């Protein structure tokens, strides 16, 4: 029901499954709490000395911002003691994060990007958190990295939070997509965007044009057509959007339609894709498909990829179904 608090919404969903124990509902509630804490730190910004470089690099070789480190620590500390997780994996950590021996372990695994779009932090543009929930193998007390390497089709839930003018959580448990806005007066997420569906008609594309010279021909062809619009054979003219924040790009697509691309390029043969499969591509692809869209590398459906490592990178093309299918057809 529109206007429900997140907890009430989750309990309603839980009651649809007669075998539900409530553990999954509590895990999602704990994730919401972690996102509230991160939103608070993002909003404090320079007032708390949270801006700028932390002076360290993550496993990706990227310079960490102070808020990257803060968000990562907040997410871990919020979830490690709850008893709902068997282990965690973060984009910011080299290896998986075990649950401390002092805490009970649950039956789920979580992969997360604690602060997506962190290049936007110091210029006050939208950043966010992305998460993906998987089932842990039964009877395994100490999960290993191999236990995380499940294709995206095995996700139990996925979601993201945007920290912009409002804090908004988008969530799927495999039964559609719903959006919840944080009401700061009561400290609760409220259902404001029920049953989100990606509009089929679109006239927007999002891509980093500075990399155009490194793209493969199918992507160049598609973008050239968009740029030429009616003069190039398309039925309409297109606008380009680029925020350098995947959470912002995907949220825009959920509400206005469009296509987002970080395609294969030839800049570095060791990094044919830019985005991380486990922390970004899989959860966002799950959400987009649940909202009626599509997601592909250009050559295959992202959710079907068998991961080979927790920090694997892949090309990403996602959004309105017809536009994604057009790009895929050019790759064929």
CA 262/CA 245 separation, integer angstroms: 11
Asked if 88 and 80 touch (Cβ cutoff 8 Å), the reply is: yes
Is the CB of residue 130 less than 8 Å from the CB of residue 246? yes
Output the CA–CA distances (angstroms, integers) from residue 107 to 10, 28, 130, 218, in the order listed: 18, 13, 20, 42
Does the annotation list 119 as a binding residue?
A: yes
Name the β-bridge partners of 314.
275
CA 277 to chain centroid, in Å, comes to: 10
Consult the annotation and say whether 203 binds a ligand. no
User: Is 280 marked as binding a ligand?
Assistant: yes
Q: Is 115 part of any known ligand binding site?
A: yes
For residue 235, say whether it is annotated as part of any ligand binding site. no
Whole-angstrom Cα distance, residue 246 to residue 260?
9
How distant, in Å, are the alpha carbons of 161, 167, 189, 200, 313 from that of 295? 20, 25, 28, 14, 15
Question: Which residues are known binding-site members?
Answer: 91, 113, 115-119, 208, 280
Question: Which residues are known binding-site members for Mg(2+)?
Answer: 91, 113, 115-116, 280
Question: Which residues are known binding-site members for substrate?
Answer: 116-119, 208
């Amino acid at each position: 029901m529109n206007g429900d608090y997140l907890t009430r919404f989750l309990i309603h969903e839980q009651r649809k499954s007669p075998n539900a124990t409530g553990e999954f509902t509590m895990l999602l509630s704990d994730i919401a709490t972690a996102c509230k804490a991160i939103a608070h730190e993002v909003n404090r910004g320079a007032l708390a000395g949270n801006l700028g470089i932390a002076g360290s690099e993550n496993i990706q070789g990227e310079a960490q911002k102070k808020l990257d480190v803060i968000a990562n620590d907040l997410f871990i500390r919020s979830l490690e003691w709850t008893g709902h997780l068997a282990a965690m994996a973060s984009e910011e950590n080299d290896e998986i994060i075990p649950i401390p021996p002092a805490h009970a372990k649950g039956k789920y695994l979580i992969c997360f990007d604690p602060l997506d779009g962190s290049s936007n932090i110091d210029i006050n543009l939208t950043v966010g958190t992305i998460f993906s929930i998987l089932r842990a193998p039964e009877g395994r007390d100490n999960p290993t990295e191999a236990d995380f390497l499940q294709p995206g089709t095995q996700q139990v839930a996925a979601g993201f939070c945007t920290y912009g003018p409002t804090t908004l959580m988008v969530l799927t448990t495999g039964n559609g997509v719903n959006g919840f806005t944080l009401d700061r007066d009561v400290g609760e997420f409220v259902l404001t965007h029920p049953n989100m569906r990606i509009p089929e008609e679109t006239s927007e594309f999002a891509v980093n044009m500075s990399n155009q010279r490194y793209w493969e021909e199918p992507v160049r062809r598609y973008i050239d057509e968009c740029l030429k619009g009616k003069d190039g054979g398309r039925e309409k003219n297109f606008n380009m959007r680029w925020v350098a924040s995947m959470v912002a790009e995907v949220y825009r697509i959920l509400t206005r339609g469009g296509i987002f691309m970080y395609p294969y390029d030839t800049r570095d043969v060791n990094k044919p894709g830019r985005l991380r499969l486990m922390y970004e591509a899989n959860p966002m692809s799950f959400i987009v498909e649940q909202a009626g869209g599509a997601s592909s590398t250009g050559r295959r459906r992202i959710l079907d990829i068998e991961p080979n490592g927790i920090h694997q990178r892949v090309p990403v093309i996602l959004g309105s179904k017809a536009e994604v299918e057009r790009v895929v057809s050019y790759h064929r």
